[in-house]
Every structure is written in structure tokens, then in C-alpha cells.
Chains A and B, each alone.
Chain A
Amino acid sequence: NAGVTQTPKFQVLKTGQSMTLQCAQDMNHEYMSWYRQDPGMGLRLIHYSVGAGITDQGEVPNGYNVSRSTTEDFPLRLLSAAPSQTSVYFCASSYSNRGRAGNTIYFGEGSWLTVV
């Protein structure tokens, strides 16, 4: 059981380049989300999805796009990378986004992104 898989693990981008961080889960979870974590800071929600075809903005959505064409995949796109987007990115999934016992959130191992 792979859980939540993120790729790539490390990436260096030049300012203005675009790229996609991939996230896949094999637990048939409806809810998926992306977070960024800057050094010494907590997790900030970028975008989330409550099911295939449905996405919504989190706390810090600017500069990022998402789509959810399948239950399994939730890619995060950086449209035009900026140094301020240098961060560690975590993808997560759970059965639902609210109000259930056993609604544990599972995280990927993180993607380290540096924009120069």
C-alpha cells in the first residue's frame, strides 16, 4: 500500500519557469489537499479538492493551479515560479474533509522546491 506519493522529491527552477508537482493516492480518498511549509513555519493550505472535478482555494492559492480529473491524482501547477515559492510542498488525502471518526489525514513525504 503506497499511500500518498509525491514526485519529484527535489526540484530547482529558474524564476518564470512553470512546473507540475504530482500527487497520487491509492486509498480511494475523496479529499485531497496541497500545503506549503516555509522554514520554521506551520502548514499552509494552498488548494484542496473534495472529489473528482471539484477544487477550491485554500489560504495561499495565488500562483498555483490545481485540477482533479480522477480520484487518485491531484497535481499542483506553478504557473510562473517566483523565489517566494521556494518551500516544501506536502500533498495529503483523507476519506472526507469533515466530521467523521477515522478521518485521518495521510501525507506524502514532501517535495522540496527551490526557485532561483
Chain B
Amino acid sequence: DAKTTQPTSMDCAEGRAANLPCNHSTISGNEYVYWYRQIHSQGPQYIIHGLKNNETNEMASLIITEDRKSSTLILPHATLRDTAVYYCIGDNNDMRFGAGTRLTVKP
């Protein structure tokens, strides 16, 4: 089961790309990586998930390294509303969340 490691906090300028890293060096072969975000004490919401290939949806892009030991969530044009805590988890870890990364988008 993957234990994930994320930076505690990051800043990003409005309109620029936000790149949020996640280390999951113990991830197993069939374990998906999921990303969620939590805006100001609301319930966390799903963003994107992937296994091996890079993924993109209307919210974000997910880049997974070839060895699957790390991934990066990309918000291509960050807005002030993207200020939130972002969680990366492997879906074989019984839904245990870490502290996540607190992203602050600044004007």
C-alpha cells in the first residue's frame, strides 16, 4: 500500500500553472493514484486519477512518472478559487489521507 508524501504548502500566481508533486515510492502495481481537493472546510472533492498513463480532464492534468513512484497534478491556469488543500492518495491504502498540500493562489 502506498504511503504518499506531499509538500506542506505551495504558492502560485494567478493565471500561472500550479504543479503539485506527490511521492508514492511504495505504490503497488495495480494501485491507482487519486487526487482530491478541499476548499475551505468543505468536504473533499475528486479531481482526477490515473494508473500509468498521463490523464487530463476539465479540471486538471495528472502526470505519472514511468516508474510510478511519483506524480504531479497540474492546474494549467490557476485561479483564486483553486486555493485549497490538495490530497494525493493511493487507493490501496484503506482511504487514509495525509495532510496534503495547501495551495495558495495569489493575485
Interface residues in B, total, Cβ within 8 A? 25
Are A58 and B91 closer than 8 Å at their CB atoms? no
Q: What bracket does the count of chain A residues touching chain B fall in?
A: 20 to 34
- Chain B residues contacting A106 (CB-CB under 8 Å) are 46
Stretch in A14-22, A37-45, A63-71, A72-80 touching the partner: A37-45
- B96 surroundings in chain A (CB, below 8 A): 45, 58-59
Q: Which of A59-111 contact B (CB under 8 A)?
A: 59, 88, 90, 92, 94, 97-101, 103-110
Tell yes or no: B21 within 8 A of A by CB. Answer: no
| Complex Cα–Cα for A55 and B45 (A) | 24
Taking CB atoms, residues of chain B closer than 8 Å to A35 are: 97
A41 vs B98: C-alpha distance in the bound complex, in angstroms?
Answer: 9
A33 interface residue (CB < 8 Å to B):
yes
| B40 shortest CB reach to chain A, Å | 11
* Cβ-closest 9 pairs across A and B: A107-B43, A42-B99, A43-B97, A98-B92, A104-B46, A107-B44, A103-B91, A45-B96, A109-B43
